[in-house]
Amino acid sequence: MQPRFNDAEVELLYRQHGKVLLLFARAIVGDKASAQDAVHQVFLKMLQSAKLHQIADVKAYLFASVRNAILNDSKVQQRNVTLAEESAWFEPPLRDYAAEQKLRRALCDLPEEQRQVVVLHLWGEFTLSQIASILEISANTAASRYRYALARLREAMCVKENTCAHPR
């Protein structure tokens, strides 16, 4: 039998990745309590599992496990949870609260598949190849979702210029 992770190792992994895992989980379920439950469920299983030392990329494993825990829970509950517009994605910046609100709304408006890729890439700091593995999609699909998401975010954040104001 393989040695298990000890409490200190699990605590270190939680301190290193817990906040981003929670952000990722909230991007999927939108509900803080459900997101916390999924993250805590994954770390609890780490304490109980004897097979984790065979994992090559523990960070990718954690994100995939959180995603799978959420998907399994949603299958059991047979319901969809929508992301509340006012729910916090990150700490509001001190200098431009209006832009942060605008970005939050733009993130909420993204299709779930694109939002997952953005959160994993920007906050989870995963490569598109790693994201493809976590989400069980091709690398090209991950890249496309990221590209489309950035275009939508850019469009939502940019101020539209009044074309009538420009002289011919």
Residue 168 lies in a domain: no
What does the chain come to in residues?
Answer: 168
Number of structural domains (the chain) is 2
Going residue by residue through the chain, which has 168 residues, state the pLDDT in tens, using 9 for 90 and above.
455 567 788 889 899 999 999 999 998 888 899 899 999 999 888 888 756 667 788 899 999 999 999 888 877 665 555 555 555 556 655 566 777 788 888 888 999 999 999 999 998 999 999 999 999 999 999 999 999 999 999 998 885 544 344 444
Report d(CA 119, CA 116) in Å as an integer: 5
Boundary (domain end) residue, out of 61, 87, 113:
87
Which residue's entry shows tokens 């993130």?
A: 107
Report d(CA 15, CA 84) in Å as an integer: 26
CA 12 from chain centre, in angstroms, equals 20
Residue 64 lies in a domain: yes
Asked if residue 58 lies in contact with residue 46, where contact means CB atoms within 8 angstroms, the answer is no
Q: What is the CA radius of gyration of the chain?
A: 18
Residue 167 lies in a domain: no
